[in-house]
Amino acid sequence: MERERIILGIDPGTQVMGYGVLRVVNNKPELMAMGILQLNKYDDHYLKLRRIFERIISLIDEYLPDELAIEAPFFGKNVQSMLKLGRAQGVAMAAALSRDIPIFEYAPLKIKMAITGNGRAAKEQVAYMLQNYLRIPDENMLPQMDATDGLAAAVCHYFQTNNPANEKKFTSWKDYINKNPGKVKK
């Protein structure tokens, strides 16, 4: 029986919002879509928030994702920018919540680490690794790195939730020893 799930990844922004849609069939990921929402043409911050909400809703209605993975805002020096970015993230989350889609937040460092092995990787490195991992043809890559950042959030979530090591939960060392008798010498 084929098991399928769809993950919508979002890189929130107030100038450009990136998104990626990942389809996972029998634990094999493939790109469904990626793109951007250009917001810098709007002067009104509240209109930008409305456009983010509407676009997330339209992506949800089109691709029917099972989960939303979103990049958490990082702590910058500019408080005003952080507030605006937090609002953009909140609106994207509200759109997912309005459709009962579970939300998973990942720090930018965690996303980059999951994709490249380096939490300080450049956006170009992230895009390159995603292109190779998902076998995305050159003509399907977008010049805006916000799109691959959104896709990176989805792939990071896929990695986090498909890690066999995450399946074994232990309550104590005694519990670990009881569940792994072959790994312990007596």
Task: Please identify which of the residues 2, 4, 11, 139 carries the catalytic annotation.
Answer: 11
d(CA 55, CA 42): 15
> How far apart are alpha carbons 150 and 7 in whole angstroms?
11
Instruction: Compute CA distances 87 → 33, 78, 98, whole Å.
Output: 25, 15, 16
- Choosing from 71, 105, 149, 167, the catalytic residue is 71
**Amino acid code (one letter) for 106:** Y
Residue 146 bears catalytic tag? yes
The residue from 67, 146, 167, 175 that is catalytic is 146
Cα dihedral 32, 122, 162, 12 in deg (nearest 10):
-60
Q: Which residues are CB-contacts of 103 (< 8 A; sequence separation ≥ 6)?
A: 67, 68, 70, 93, 96, 97
Element (H, E) at 109: helix 108-116
71 carries an active-site annotation: yes
Q: Are 134 and 30 in contact (CB under 8 A)?
A: yes
Q: Which residues are catalytic?
A: 11, 71, 146
